[in-house]
Structure 1
Amino acid sequence: MSFSSLPIQQRIPNLVRHCSFQQLKQVHAFLISSSLARHPALPSLCIRRAAELGKTYHAGLIFSSCVSGDPHHILPWNALIRGSVQFGQHDKALNVFANMIQSGLTPNEFTYSDVFSACAALRDYQIGKTTHCRSLKAGLDLIPFVAVSLFNLYSSTETPRPPTASAAAAGVIDARKIFDLISTKSTGLWNKMISVYTRIRDILSARKLFDEMPCRDVVSWNTMLSGYVRAKEVERAKALFDEMPERNVFSWTSMVRALTDTGDLGTARKLFDEMPERNVVSWNCMLSSYTQSGMFKQAMDLFFQMQSLQIPPDGFTFVAALSACAHLGALKIGAWIHFHLIGDLLQFGSIVGTALIEMYAKCGDINSAFRIFIKTAEKDVFCWNVMIKALATHGRAKDALRLFASMSKEEQKLELNDFTFMSVLFACNHGGLVEQGRQIFESMERNFNIKPTMEHYGCLIDLLCRSDRIAEAYQVVKEMPYEPDFMVWGALLGGCRAGNDISLAEKVMESVEEVYDDDGSGVYAIMSNVYAASSRWSEAQKAREKIMDRRIWKTPGSSSVVDASHVGKQRSDLGV
């Protein structure tokens, strides 16, 4: 039988399922004119489709007309809930459900399935739990598709709304209870339960379930493998990898990641080179591992190899490559990546924009860094922090403070963090802006509800010492809620040396000796220099002798020079 020969009541559902909004309005008009809208089944399809298309207002109009005609029919309610879930308006779906309960209607299995899906998407464990109790009383919770939705809710353990870790753990226990009650389990459901265990690092339970599986697919093996990788159980990961009857690119990449996470980049690279196929994630895994391990030359070599094989890079590729350029001081290569590969920043956003800012700033081109900052759309707090720190490093402390003032404005809607204030205090320190530094430090807890850390106190103390306000700095040390470390004592002693304040320096040394450990060579060396600056040679000698007596050795200074010749050929090949 052809589609056109079907009764109109059977053709309309197929039409509505895939129609555009304009076509939907035509179908709805036809239903009204032909009296087919009297029964809520067909209008409910229109409600669902309008909600799926995000046409909330239109869906509400059809819904209102249906409910006013037959307020006790459940179909329009279910349609609006389902459509809202499909479009991602999960809060709206839960609001409709709440109104449905208030109206005295009894939910059915389709209602519960969609409400559980909305709760899972929102990670709303509390509403999900309450709704589960309702479905349990109605005897609908173990209908297969309802149980699967319920399982998906409880298996969403990474929840922002449950207030405690114990609530999330309870979700895992409930997920397992539901899993055990489902009579016919798909392989996908087994995989999901294993994944839940691996996310909370319960590798023993994950492996036990994996071994009990009646049928495994490649996803099952990969899920268990990624669990071992996440738990840093490399030997078990390698054993499972060797057992795998079928490996895909995810399997190989997971094993490479396991090796790089342990610092065994040599074996990781060997395995990477053996991969039968690689995707951009595989390349990024190896590339980012090189940059994180400080192997910037190897990172650039791999990036050029990726380019020669014409592997399309993504944002993560650019971040890793630009980080390597920043540390190598390879400005020309970084600029080449910017202009020839990245081009329009709008397609990559804040993460790549921040990497470019950092690259230009570390390579000495602060003006280009600031231009990138201006062009970067939707700047996150990390992007602002990096730009402030870059300006401070390049001696533009006042520009850094102006940027901080702009960042702090309410319309930016940014949540300032510890690093923000470290960057600003660093700027004040480099610019000698003592009063501004004190005001910003005092505003942290008062205006932004951020408790200063030891590092913030250290930065303030260093700022005061550099400005010859030693007594004030010492008062901060006495009042701060942390035990001073050697960095703080060192800053104070450095200030005493600059201000020739031997009396305070000796008080500081008394405190240092009370909390002495083996990392204090610099403090005794500074104290020796304080005495020497006042021509008190015998005391200077005694301070030096304490270094020897306690076998505290000053680490010799060292410097490194980047040999950029290794990228010469690649640069010329690429026309850089």
Structure 2
Amino acid sequence: MAPGNSLAARFDAAGAAPPFQQRTATSNLLAALKLCAMARDLERGRSIHSQVVDSGAAANPFVASSLVSMYAKCGSVREARRIFDAMPCHSVVSWTALIQGYVENKEELLALDLFAAMARAGGDCQPNGRTFVAVLKACSRLAAKEAMQALGDELVKIKALESVVALHAVIDQTGCGVDIFVANALLDAYARCGSLVDASKVFSGMAYKDVVSWTSLILGFAENSQGEMALQLFELMQRQGCSPNPRTFLAAVKAIAALAAEERENPLELDDGMSKVVALEKVMALHSLCVKSGCQDRYVTSSLVDLYAKCGSLDDSRVVFERARFFDDVVLWTALILAHADSSGNEEQALEIYVRMRSHGCAPDARTYVALLKVCGKAVASRLAKVIHGEICRHGLEHGELVANALVDVYGKCGSAHNAEKVFLSLLSPDAVAHTSLMAGLCRQGKDGSTKIFQIFHDMLDNGLSIDGVTLLCLLTASSHAGLVTQGKQIFHGMQRRYGVSPEIEHYHAVIDLLGRTNHLDEAMNFARTMPFKPTAVTWTTILTWCSKWKNPSLGRLSFEKCLEIDTQPDPCDDEKQSQRGLLEPEALA
């Protein structure tokens, strides 16, 4: 055959590559785009995009979908959407790539909108398992931003739950529910919405349950304050032959932390008058199992450091830290600092640990600074907070959400409302935590801060931010300082109905303070007697203070007698004995 008539020559003459060369070039581009997506290398991805355009491969639907995925994974969802919109037709791959991109870049509502558009488009393009996993992940993240509301006997995230229920129906219609990845994502979404009944139904209906399934359900119960049930599931999982992984241990740690919180609120008395430290015994058993199973990575270790402290044993926290010997690990150092920051009277030790951390050459991160700012807030150390703020700015961390919220909080606690407002106003889109932290700081200004507190609250409502118990406590405190009796009562009685927040004893105390401050002493006394909590020394001291102010000796005498009754009751726990009981036993670290 003459050279001019060869297949290669004919393609060269036509200005095109042979089919096998085209396939090779396309495969290379797809591989390069995938590598850029994995490495999150946006600049190199753009360079390869230019090669795609020059080669004429942009019309290839597989290449276009890979471009969408690459831009989305590299954090540029605008460019991903531009490529997507330019495609003449869309496959399930391109739809899913963009939905995943929105989820990964915290644009959960846009992800749901795009999924709805995919459903409206209809045709042969039906969602697959990957699509459902991405959309369920969006629902889970939206649930994390939503406040709990009462629904029957459960407290749930109603809006997110409605989306999950609707998705569940579509999943059943498509038959994708048998996919274990979809089932696990569905289970996790229900749990994060607070609907443990639905999560348990999904779990029970699974033909095969892997470690992810068990862990999701355990975590769901732990995060919804059902620690005992979570631990029972943890034991059942092992009896059924499924070995826990580090994430499962983290879920179990959360379950014990929930039990520890319950014990602090409702200590059980023994004959010797000491608190029955059930949670501490459980964490020691969990720690031993964790070591034996080889699952004690740095995250589990740091969680154990924190958990021992929550159970009242800083000694054990320090032993876990020292034996881990991860002196270059900022996560562990931060956990130890935070453990001391959370324990009353250990602020100086927390700062000493930070100095030791720096001496080991371990650089602090954003969470370390948050822990240090917490120490400053507890110690009301305004000058030290400013020093740490300066260090944060030198490291360029001041605009991070966690750090900024901590700065607003610490300045408020230190009585520096001006600095708190300054940091707050520097935020591009302050979240509910930042708003509430600023409100709490303004509460310390007394009557002068009340007007601003109500303005901030209305800003929260206008921006659709979630309202929690702390936010409402700030409102009640502001109402008290301003003497707004009617408004304060309306806020209190609307807590459950309007915001899905059940009043705690602190909210009752705020109303008692409001009634006492405005000389409604009989009503304050009746409120204290009828509240669903046992009155504490704070309850009667608050009333006694206002009885003195308004010269009401009869109610004042009664309040004083109630205070004496509480003061003469035995202390249900002895912190020193509790700490000694928690010392690690040798076999726990065998």
Is TM more than 0.5 here? yes
CA contact under 8 A between 2:415 and 2:441: conserved in structure 1?
Answer: no
Amino acid at match of 1:205: L
Q: 1:204 to 1:400 in 2, by over 3 A?
A: same
**What is the alpha-carbon distance in structure 1 between the residues aligned to residue 170 and residue 567 of structure 2?**
65
Q: 1:452 to 1:398 in 2, by over 3 A?
A: farther
Gap regions ≥5 residues in structure 1 = 65-75, 180-189, 214-219, 510-521, 527-546, 557-576
1:150 maps to which of 139, 163, 182 = 182
Task: Tell me how far 1:290 sits from its aligned partner.
Answer: 0.9
Structure 1 position 50 matched with structure 2 position 75: no
Question: CA deviation digits over 1:11-61, x for unaligned, max 9?
Answer: 2243255455686587468659xxx96xxxx33542453365343354234
Structure 1 residue matching 2:286: 3-state secondary structure: helix
Task: Tell me how far 1:462 sits from its aligned partner.
Answer: 2.6
1:229 maps to which of 231, 245, 253 = 253
Aligned to 2:133: 117
Amino acid at match of 2:560: V
Aligned to 1:196: 216
**What is the alpha-carbon distance in structure 2 between the residues aligned to residue 282 and residue 310 of structure 1?**
14
**What is the alpha-carbon distance in structure 1 between the residues aligned to residue 463 and residue 242 of structure 2?**
53
Question: CA deviation digits over 1:388-425, x for unaligned, max 9?
Answer: 33333244x22342243244135444334332342244
Over aligned residue pairs, what C-alpha RMSD do you find?
A: 4.1
2:474 maps to which of 423, 427, 450 = 423
Question: CA deviation digits over 1:155-209, x for unaligned, max 9?
Answer: 5255456x732111122223x4144xxxxxxxxxx44244235424211232235
**What is the alpha-carbon distance in structure 1 between the residues aligned to residue 112 and residue 458 of structure 2?**
31
Amino acid at match of 1:307: R
Q: 1:551 to 1:28 in 2, by over 3 A?
A: closer
Amino acid at match of 2:26: I
Aligned to 1:81: 95
CA contact under 8 A between 1:195 and 1:227: conserved in structure 2?
Answer: yes
CA contact under 8 A between 1:112 and 1:131: conserved in structure 2?
Answer: no
Question: CA deviation digits over 1:107-159, x for unaligned, max 9?
Answer: 5xxx52323323432346445544444454xxx877xxxx3433443452554
Task: Tell me how far 1:280 sits from its aligned partner.
Answer: 1.5
Q: Which has the higher contact order (CA 8 A, sep 6+)?
A: 2
CA contact under 8 A between 1:225 and 1:240: conserved in structure 2?
Answer: no
Aligned to 2:391: 340
Structure 1 residue matching 2:128: 3-state secondary structure: helix
Question: CA deviation digits over 1:294-315, x for unaligned, max 9?
Answer: 1212111111111222322122
Aligned to 1:301: 352
Aligned to 2:148: none
Amino acid at match of 1:408: H
**What is the alpha-carbon distance in structure 2 between the residues aligned to residue 378 and residue 552 of structure 1?**
47
Aligned to 1:95: 116
Task: Tell me how far 1:505 sits from its aligned partner.
Answer: 3.2
CA contact under 8 A between 1:345 and 1:353: conserved in structure 2?
Answer: no
Structure 1 position 270 matched with structure 2 position 319: yes
* Equivalent runs, 1:121-270 vs 2, <5 Å: 121-123=137-139, 125-136=164-175, 147-157=179-189, 159-160=191-192, 164-174=195-205, 176-179=206-209, 190-199=210-219, 200=221, 201=230, 202-209=233-240, 211=241, 221-232=245-256, 233-244=282-293, 248-270=297-319
Structure 2 residue matching 1:177: 3-state secondary structure: coil
TM, length-normalised to structure 2: 0.65
CA contact under 8 A between 1:52 and 1:86: conserved in structure 2?
Answer: no
Amino acid at match of 2:454: F
Amino acid at match of 1:116: F
Gap regions ≥5 residues in structure 2 = 1-16, 34-44, 72-76, 104-110, 140-162, 222-229, 257-281, 572-590
**What is the alpha-carbon distance in structure 2 between the residues aligned to residue 490 and residue 9 of structure 1?**
82
Task: Tell me how far 1:317 sits from its aligned partner.
Answer: 1.3
Task: Tell me how far 1:492 sits from its aligned partner.
Answer: 4.6
Task: Tell me how far 1:288 sits from its aligned partner.
Answer: 1.0
CA contact under 8 A between 1:257 and 1:285: conserved in structure 2?
Answer: yes
**What is the alpha-carbon distance in structure 2 between the residues aligned to residue 468 and residue 374 of structure 1?**
38
Question: CA deviation digits over 1:434-475, x for unaligned, max 9?
Answer: 2x4543543565699247835445434433433445467568
2:366 maps to which of 312, 315, 340 = 315
**What is the alpha-carbon distance in structure 2 between the residues aligned to residue 402 and residue 334 of structure 1?**
24
Q: 1:207 to 1:333 in 2, by over 3 A?
A: same
**What is the alpha-carbon distance in structure 1 between the residues aligned to residue 25 and residue 113 of structure 2?**
30
TM, length-normalised to structure 1: 0.67
Number of aligned residue pairs: give it.
463
